Amino acid sequence: MIVFASPKKQAPKGSIIINCTSISSDWGRNLSPMLSNSAPLNLYGYNIQTVENGWQYSRIYETHNDFAQWDIWRKEGYANPKGNRYPMGKGAKPLCSYICKTLGKLDWVESRKKIYLPLYFQKLERFCWEEIQKCIKLIESEPIVYLWDFDVSNDFASFDVALNNTNRSLGHGYLLVDYLARLTGKDFYKELSESSHFTGSTTNANDIISG
């Protein structure tokens, strides 16, 4: 079973932990969307160095009133090998996201589905296969594995609920668990929701789905 751990909900001492963030001191660090890879990612014809910058620099803010200037800004962000979670400063609210004419303007949830998720899955498939195999080995050999990320909790009964929730940030840990579920055929969210570690509500889970 996979249980989420975070700065707000630490794993018990002695637990098996996969820290999938950029502050990890072991192999789990490679699973972070903040890090660049041996080659760029590619999405809708754009070369993008990090998942994080593909996600953040596709956003349009109120100060972006000239498309050409914004396009220069986002391409510079795409080319930056260092992930930047707050390119406009912490707390800045985007108006929408945009990556190509075909998709047009995307709201927060749609941009997760069209930009963040495909970029992160591409990273895992192309550059993190060794780390994915280590994750699977731990999951299959240990009764509980804690996945440590910043923006995760144990109160979502399914990945779709987490993906569509507009009240929380979507930590990449949720995406990683969904990716592992696809490979192994296991429903990790169902296992979590039926355990004592679950802190949400299965009865009202669908009430917070917005799209």
Which amino acid does the sequence have at 179? Y
Confidence of residue 206 (pLDDT cuts 50, 70, 90): very low
Q: What is the pLDDT of residue 202?
A: 55
Which amino acid does the sequence have at 2? I
Which amino acid does the sequence have at 11? A
Q: What is the pLDDT of residue 116?
A: 98
**Rounded Cα–Cα distance for residues 13 and 20 (Å):** 18
Q: What is the pLDDT of residue 201?
A: 66
The predicted-structure confidence for 108-145, as pLDDT tens digits, reads as follows 999 999 999 999 999 999 999 999 999 999 999 999 99
Tell how far CA 128 is from the center of its chain: 14
For residues 17 and 11, is the Cβ–Cβ distance under 8 A?
yes
H-helix or E-strand spanning residue 120: helix 117-127
Give the β-pairing of 59-60 and 96-97: antiparallel
pLDDT over 60 at 203, yes or no: no
The predicted-structure confidence for 139-170, as pLDDT tens digits, reads as follows 999 999 999 999 999 999 999 999 999 998 99
Proportion of the chain above pLDDT 90, given as a percent: 94
**Rounded Cα–Cα distance for residues 35 and 52 (Å):** 8
Burial (0-12, 13-18, 19+ Cβ within 10 Å), 41? buried
**Rounded Cα–Cα distance for residues 139 and 142 (Å):** 6
